[in-house]
C-alpha cells in the first residue's frame, strides 16, 4: 500500500465520513426517540448543532485545548484513510488510539475538575477496550495471512468463519468505543451524566464541533472494522458487510436505551475477561491448531 493511496483514502474519508457519520447520528437520535415513545429531532439535527457551534465565539480555557482536539481529529481521519484505502489494519488501530490520547490530553489541559474526571474515565476506557482491539487485529492477521485490509478480498471465505469468538469480543468493546450505555462513563450525548459533560465539560464552540465531527468519523471507522469480518473475494461481500454493520449499530442503539451505566471497575474487569476468553483463546487455537492435527 503506497503513501499516495493512503493520502487519497484519507481525503476521501475526510469528505465522506463526516457526511455519513452525521446522518448516522441523526438516525441514532430518531430511533432512540421512537424507542422512548417520542417523535425525536430532525434527521439533520446533528448537522444543525455543529453548525451552531461553529458560529459561536471562541471561549476556550486555553489555546492548547483546541490544538490537541485538532490533532485528535486529524489522526482519526488518517486512521480511517489507512483502513478504507486497504492499508494496514494494525496501523489503523494504533493511529486511532493516538487520536484518543490527544483527546485525553486536551481534557487534562483545561485543568477543570469535571474534565479531569472525564479524562481519567476515558483513560480507563482505553485500557479496557485496547487489548480486545489488538487481539482483533492479530486474529485477522492469523486468519487472512496479512494485516492489509485489501487482503480480505483475496479470501475464499470471510474471516468470521474462523475468528467468530473474536468478533463477539469485539462487539462487546464496540459499545465502549461508540460511547453507548452501559459504558459511556467519560462522555455522553444524553442528559444523564453525573459529571456534567465529562471530558468535554470545558469545550465549546469550534473545539466542541471538532469533537462531534471526530465522533462521527470514529463511528464510521469502527463499523468498518465490524464489516471487515464479513469481507471475502466477491463484490457481494461488501453489501453483506454493510448490512451486518447496520444491524450491529441498531443493536448498539437498543443496548444504549435499555441498560444503565456500570461502574468503571465492572467496565475494566468485564472487558479484560472478554478479551482473554474471546480473543486470547481464539488466537491460541489458531496458533496451535496445526500442531494438534
Picking from 144, 29, 5, the residue whose alpha carbon sits closest to that of residue 78 is 5
85-96 confidence digits (pLDDT tens): 999 999 999 999
Q: DSSP states of 212-234 as a string?
A: HHHHHHHHHHHHHHHHHTT--SS
State the Cα–Cα distance between residues 260 and 264, nearest whole angstrom: 13
State the Cα–Cα distance between residues 279 and 276, nearest whole angstrom: 6
Task: Please tell me which residue, 287 or 94, carries the higher pLDDT value.
Answer: 94
154-194 confidence digits (pLDDT tens): 999 999 999 999 999 999 999 999 988 888 877 766 555 55
Which string of b and e fits 261-284 if b means at least 16 CB within 10 Å? bbebeebeebbeebbeebbbebbe
Dihedral angle computed from the Cα positions of residues 113, 118, 123 and 128, in that order, rounded to the nearest 10 degrees: 140
Picking from 220, 68, 92, 222, the residue whose alpha carbon sits closest to that of residue 149 is 92
CB of 181 closer than 8 Å to CB of 254 = no
Share of the chain above pLDDT 70, in %: 95
Q: What is the pTM of this model?
A: 0.91
198-232 confidence digits (pLDDT tens): 788 788 888 889 999 999 999 999 999 999 999 99
CB of 253 closer than 8 Å to CB of 28 = yes
Q: Tell whether the model's pLDDT for residue 286 goes beyond 80.
A: yes
pLDDT at 192: 52
Q: Retrieve residue 80's grid coordinates.
A: 480511517
53-71 confidence digits (pLDDT tens): 988 877 776 778 889 999 9
Amino acid at each position: 500500500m503506497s503513501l499516495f493511496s493512503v493520502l487519497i483514502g484519507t481525503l476521501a474519508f475526510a469528505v465522506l465520513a463526516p457526511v455519513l457519520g452525521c446522518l448516522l447520528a441523526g438516525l441514532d437520535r430518531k430511533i432512540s426517540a421512537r424507542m422512548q415513545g417520542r417523535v425525536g429531532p430532525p434527521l439533520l439535527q446533528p448537522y444543525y448543532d455543529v453548525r451552531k457551534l461553529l458560529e459561536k465565539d471562541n471561549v476556550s480555557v486555553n489555546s492548547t485545548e483546541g490544538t490537541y482536539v485538532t490533532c485528535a481529529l486529524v489522526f482519526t481521519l488518517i486512521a480511517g484513510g489507512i483502513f478504507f484505502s486497504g492499508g494496514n489494519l494494525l496501523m489503523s488501530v494504533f493511529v486511532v488510539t493516538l487520536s484518543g490520547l490527544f483527546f485525553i490530553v486536551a481534557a487534562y489541559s483545561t485543568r477543570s475538575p469535571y474534565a479531569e474526571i472525564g479524562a481519567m474515565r476515558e483513560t480507563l476506557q482505553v485500557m479496557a477496550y485496547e487489548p480486545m482491539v489488538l487481539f482483533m487485529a492479530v486474529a485477522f492477521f492469523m486468519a487472512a495471512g496479512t494485516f492489509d485490509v485489501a487482503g480480505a478480498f483475496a479470501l475464499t471465505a470471510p474471516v468470521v468463519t474462523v475468528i467468530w469468538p473474536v468478533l463477539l469480543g469485539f462487539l462487546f468493546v464496540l459499545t465502549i468505543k461508540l460511547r453507548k450505555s452501559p459504558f459511556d462513563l467519560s462522555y455522553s450525548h444524553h442528559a444523564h451524566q453525573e459529571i456534567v459533560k465529562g471530558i468535554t465539560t470545558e469545550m465549546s464552540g469550534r473545539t466542541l464541533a471538532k469533537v462531534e465531527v471526530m465522533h462521527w468519523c470514529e463511528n464510521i471507522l469502527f463499523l468498518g472494522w465490524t464489516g471487515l469480518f464479513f469481507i471475502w473475494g466477491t463484490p457481494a461481500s461488501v453489501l453483506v458487510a454493510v448490512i451486518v454493520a447496520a444491524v450491529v449499530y441498531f443493536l448498539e442503539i437498543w443496548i444504549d436505551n435499555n441498560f444503565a451505566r456500570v461502574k468503571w471497575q465492572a467496565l475494566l474487569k468485564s472487558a479484560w475477561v472478554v478479551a482473554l476468553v474471546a480473543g486470547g483463546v481464539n488466537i491460541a487455537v489458531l496458533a496451535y491448531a496445526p500442531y494438534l492435527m
